[in-house]
Chain A
């Protein structure tokens, strides 16, 4: 990177880094605003004071017990989905790919649904749930890949996505059966969860989630250069000595792992993994080294904003956060479809 610096004054990657820093600042700002939204008004100055340990009893309670976990979860969900979306889109050379459209998060979701429906306790499942979600996501990715590709032919992303849509609806059907055998409380939980609800707002979930994300984000990020080459063309990558098949599988597993933890704790945010990368690409370009963090941060901001809306506007308070995101992103998705 230093080499590039000497050659050009502001290289794209440097610009990308600046934008990333800017986005991060924005994330912090939105985060602090998020701390202020709710029934008990804390005030921005008081919020910052509380963070440095100088808050009173009430602001401590409001922020540390109620708001902070939820906001952290929102950011983590965004990071996971946003980064996963970048990897999937780059791997498949298709900007309609995402954990949602490929049916991967539906697969993760199915396993979590089965776990909840067959008597699993969401309280003790802190470690088990992301693992199950990962298993479900990988299984789903495998099935979709097998069904969506033909022998002796190149991978056709559109076909994969179509298969993903169809398989996703099969998972939806199985999940609906499950909601029949559960009681009303669990049914409501599953309904909310399927629409994308930030439910895992206990610190132990968040810690598990954060560690999980950190591990897989590192794995993914270490290979971002390879991802860049693969995104240019499979042939060029092969020519440059990249073992495309192996890297493809490796990166795909990482992407599924990133999204599945988000699905396990945050529910099924269908469009998040799609629009995060899109907005990010407009800002920082296609280099995965800056695109991946930018996409994660942007998706985080989106979830935070949606959650602020849900918490702040009384007429939608209590609905799953994912619904707000879906309603806002469907027009954008249709626009993308028309443009492509």
Chain B
């Protein structure tokens, strides 16, 4: 009885924290967004930013900067942040692996691989085809990593998944490099692999938008089942949740969202690892609270890092993917230190 009461208490406090978290997150995101649009090679005042956004006039140069250069970029960053963070959280829930992340697990490498292959054979591949191809590549990598996670008597531990992901990612990037070197497309590949949202145009947003929204919507719909599933598959069966459907849907969410992130800005690792960990620290483990918080924090993180990326060596830009890796690695080390160790044979 007492346990139930405390459960309800923590639940209540989690909800309160969730609300606070969301409010702070959204306000931060809003302020960051305004700053993001205002700063740059051409500095704008706050007033100009808002006029550019809501009172767009094609003949004013500054409005064009706001509307056609910085706003799409901002949206791209937000989409990538949300996608990666949500995909990471879903993946961590689905595989019960706290180290899961679409970059670390080689899913982004699968996407890049597919995109580079298709760009060699069909140089003018359209943007929508690129998304589909990217999904296919992500799917291939996801399949590999999931098969790996399921084969074996005891299932895969977090460490083993990370090593397998590293190997798969290595495999894909090796083949990609081989093909790229054979065909002399090295500059294009570098552009893709560094991760930058600098060249985003409205078309990118329009085309990937529906996929993105669908992915996030499905994630939110299955959030309850994910929470239940994490209590144990027997429990969730008892509670009437369909484990199979949840697993399939969450896999689809992971690969669509990761693939979109790759198409928009390239492979960005560690967002999906860091954000859910931070979020769970504040709002607990209920995915109905975790996923929206992840979305907000993911967006804040990527927008902030991209903001930094434009600032630190201005007028040149730092690739945002690399900058996030620099932040993500210490975090990864920190988490892996917290993990209970699993001893290999040998």
Interface size on B, residues (CB 8 A): 45
Stretch at the interface among A40-48, A162-170, A208-216: A162-170
* Nearest-neighbor residue (CB-CB) of A317 within chain B: B182
Q: Inside 8 A of A173's CB, which chain B residues have their CB?
A: 321-322, 325-326, 329
Q: Is the interface of A mostly helix, strand, loop or mixed?
A: helix
Q: Contacts A326-B171, A334-B164: A158 and B325 contacting too (C-beta < 8 A)? A: no
* Nearest-neighbor residue (CB-CB) of A172 within chain B: B325
Contact between A337 and B190 (Cβ–Cβ < 8 Å)? Answer: no
Q: From A93, A338, A339, name the one whose CB has the most chain B CB atoms within 10 angstroms.
A: A338
* Nearest-neighbor residue (CB-CB) of B103 within chain A: A169
Select one of B174, B318, B336 contacting A327, CB under 8 A.
B174
Contact between A101 and B163 (Cβ–Cβ < 8 Å)? Answer: yes
Q: Contacts A96-B163, A169-B325, A337-B160: A89 and B181 contacting too (C-beta < 8 A)? A: no
Q: Inside 8 A of B61's CB, which chain A residues have their CB?
A: none
Select one of B159, B318, B326 contacting A162, CB under 8 A.
B159
Per the bound structure, the CA–CA distance linking A23 and B199 in Å amounts to: 54
Q: Inside 8 A of A179's CB, which chain B residues have their CB?
A: 190
Contact between A192 and B166 (Cβ–Cβ < 8 Å)? Answer: no
Contact between B178 and A323 (Cβ–Cβ < 8 Å)? Answer: yes
Q: Is the interface of B mostly helix, strand, loop or mixed?
A: helix
Q: Contacts A156-B341, A157-B344, A192-B181: A323 and B162 contacting too (C-beta < 8 A)? A: no
Within 8 A of A (CB), among B154-201: 156, 159-160, 162-164, 166-168, 170-171, 174-175, 177-178, 181-182, 186-187, 190, 193-194
Tell me, yes or no, whether B332 is within 8 Å of chain A by CB: yes
Per the bound structure, the CA–CA distance linking A337 and B144 in Å amounts to: 14
Tell me, yes or no, whether A22 is within 8 Å of chain B by CB: no
Q: Inside 8 A of B60's CB, which chain A residues have their CB?
A: none
Q: Inside 8 A of B160's CB, which chain A residues have their CB?
A: 337, 340
Select one of B167, B181, B343 contacting A319, CB under 8 A.
B181
* Nearest-neighbor residue (CB-CB) of A92 within chain B: B346
Stretch at the interface among A65-73, A180-188, A250-258: A180-188
Contact between A165 and B194 (Cβ–Cβ < 8 Å)? Answer: no
**Nearest chain B CB to A230's CB is how many angstroms away?**
14
Per the bound structure, the CA–CA distance linking A340 and B346 in Å amounts to: 8
Tell me, yes or no, whether A195 is within 8 Å of chain B by CB: yes
Tell me, yes or no, whether A127 is within 8 Å of chain B by CB: no
Within 8 A of A (CB), among B29-51: none
Tell me, yes or no, whether A24 is within 8 Å of chain B by CB: no
Contact between B163 and A326 (Cβ–Cβ < 8 Å)? Answer: no
Contact between B159 and A166 (Cβ–Cβ < 8 Å)? Answer: no
Select one of A93, A270, A320, A327 contacting B346, CB under 8 A.
A93
Per the bound structure, the CA–CA distance linking A179 and B186 in Å amounts to: 11
**Nearest chain B CB to A127's CB is how many angstroms away?**
29
Per the bound structure, the CA–CA distance linking A339 and B151 in Å amounts to: 10
Q: Inside 8 A of A323's CB, which chain B residues have their CB?
A: 174-175, 177-178
Contact between B181 and A167 (Cβ–Cβ < 8 Å)? Answer: no
Contact between B167 and A333 (Cβ–Cβ < 8 Å)? Answer: yes
**Nearest chain B CB to A270's CB is how many angstroms away?**
6
Interface string of A86-97 (1 = CB under 8 A from B): 000100011110
Q: Inside 8 A of A184's CB, which chain B residues have their CB?
A: 186-187
Within 8 A of A (CB), among B89-138: 104
Contact between B182 and A318 (Cβ–Cβ < 8 Å)? Answer: yes
Contact between A330 and B325 (Cβ–Cβ < 8 Å)? Answer: no
Tell me, yes or no, whether B315 is within 8 Å of chain A by CB: no
**Nearest chain A CB to B229's CB is how many angstroms away?**
24
Q: Inside 8 A of A187's CB, which chain B residues have their CB?
A: 186, 190
Contact between A169 and B329 (Cβ–Cβ < 8 Å)? Answer: yes
**Nearest chain A CB to B324's CB is how many angstroms away?**
9
**Nearest chain B CB to A312's CB is how many angstroms away?**
16
**Nearest chain B CB to A322's CB is how many angstroms away?**
8
Contact between B182 and A326 (Cβ–Cβ < 8 Å)? Answer: no
Interface string of A134-157 (1 = CB under 8 A from B): 000000000000011010000011
Per the bound structure, the CA–CA distance linking A103 and B164 in Å amounts to: 15
Tell me, yes or no, whether B240 is within 8 Å of chain A by CB: no
Contact between A167 and B333 (Cβ–Cβ < 8 Å)? Answer: yes
Contact between B319 and A176 (Cβ–Cβ < 8 Å)? Answer: yes
Q: Inside 8 A of A170's CB, which chain B residues have their CB?
A: 325-326, 329
Q: Inside 8 A of B193's CB, which chain A residues have their CB?
A: 176
Tell me, yes or no, whether B244 is within 8 Å of chain A by CB: no
Contact between A319 and B182 (Cβ–Cβ < 8 Å)? Answer: yes
* Nearest-neighbor residue (CB-CB) of A168 within chain B: B166
Tell me, yes or no, whether B210 is within 8 Å of chain A by CB: no
Per the bound structure, the CA–CA distance linking A101 and B170 in Å amounts to: 11
Contact between B163 and A161 (Cβ–Cβ < 8 Å)? Answer: yes
Contact between A162 and B336 (Cβ–Cβ < 8 Å)? Answer: yes
Per the bound structure, the CA–CA distance linking A318 and B152 in Å amounts to: 38
Select one of A159, A166, A319, A337 contacting B341, CB under 8 A.
A159
Per the bound structure, the CA–CA distance linking A177 and B193 in Å amounts to: 11
Q: A192-B181, A330-B168 are in contact. List 14 more A-B contacts (CB 8 A).
A: A158-B343, A163-B333, A165-B162, A165-B166, A170-B325, A173-B321, A174-B322, A176-B319, A320-B178, A323-B174, A323-B175, A327-B175, A334-B168, A337-B160
User: Can you identify 13 A-B contacts, CB atoms within 8 angstroms?
Assistant: A95-B345, A150-B337, A162-B162, A162-B336, A165-B166, A166-B329, A320-B178, A320-B181, A327-B175, A330-B167, A330-B171, A333-B167, A337-B160
Which 6 residue pairs of A and B lie closest in terms of their CB atoms, listed nearest first?
A95-B346, A173-B325, A170-B329, A162-B336, A330-B171, A166-B332
Residues of B within 8 A of A (CB): 104, 148, 151-152, 156, 159-160, 162-164, 166-168, 170-171, 174-175, 177-178, 181-182, 186-187, 190, 193-194, 269, 318-319, 321-322, 325-326, 329, 332-333, 336-337, 339, 341-346
